Amino acid sequence: MARKAKRRGRPFGSKNKKTLGKSVATMDIAKLVAHIDPLQNLRVHEQQSYFETQLVELMAYTAKKAPAAYHAVGLGEGRKRKRAKAAPKYQSKKHRTVNWSGRGTTPVWLRAEMEEMKLKKEDFLIKA
C-alpha cells in the first residue's frame, strides 16, 4: 500500500489570510481602518451578547421575586382592612343622610356647614 504524503501548512479549504504588516506604524490609514472595523464589530457583538444574557438572568430573578415583593408592599392581594368600619359619629344638619365617622380629615361638607352656620364640630354629633 502506498502511503499518502503528509501535507504541510494549512489544511485544505482554510482561508489563507494575508498577514498583517510587520508594524502598525508602517500601515496606511485605509489598512488600519480595515483592520480596526472588524475588531470593533466583534467587540460590540460580544458586549451585546453579554448584556442580553445578563438581562435574561435579571428577568428570571425578578420573576421569582415579584410575588414576594407585591405581597410585602401589599399590592398583590389588595389591601385588607386593619379595623372594622367605623360607625357614623357626625351628621349633616342640612342633609340627614350625609354622615362622617370622625376618622381622617374633616369632610368638606362639614367645614362648609361649620362656617356657614357658625357652629362647632360638637354640634354635629349624632345623639342616640
Indicate whether 66 and 100 sit together in one domain.
Answer: no
Q: Strands, E, within the chain: which ranges?
A: 90-91, 99-100
Residue 118 lies in a domain: yes
pLDDT digits (tens, 9 = 90+) for 41-71: 888 888 999 999 999 988 888 887 777 776 6
Q: What percent of the chain has pLDDT over 90?
A: 33
The three-class DSSP label of residue 75 is coil
Residue 21: is its pLDDT beyond 60? Answer: no
What's the pLDDT score for residue 41? 84
Indicate whether 97 and 65 sit together in one domain.
Answer: no
The pLDDT mean for the chain works out to 81
Residue 41 lies in a domain: yes
The structure's pTM equals 0.37
Reported as a pLDDT band with limits 50, 70 and 90, residue 11 is low
For 61, the domain range is 25-73
Residue 64 lies in a domain: yes
Residue 10 lies in a domain: no
Give the residue from 88, 90, 93, 89 showing the smallest Cα distance to 115.
93
Distances (CA, A) of 125 to 86, 103, 107: 14, 13, 14
Residue 84 lies in a domain: no
Residue 14 lies in a domain: no
For the chain, what percentages of helix, strand and coil (3-state, to nearest 5) are there?
A: 50, 5, 50
Q: How many domains does the chain have?
A: 2
Indicate whether 66 and 96 sit together in one domain.
Answer: no
Residue 2 lies in a domain: no
Reported as a pLDDT band with limits 50, 70 and 90, residue 27 is confident
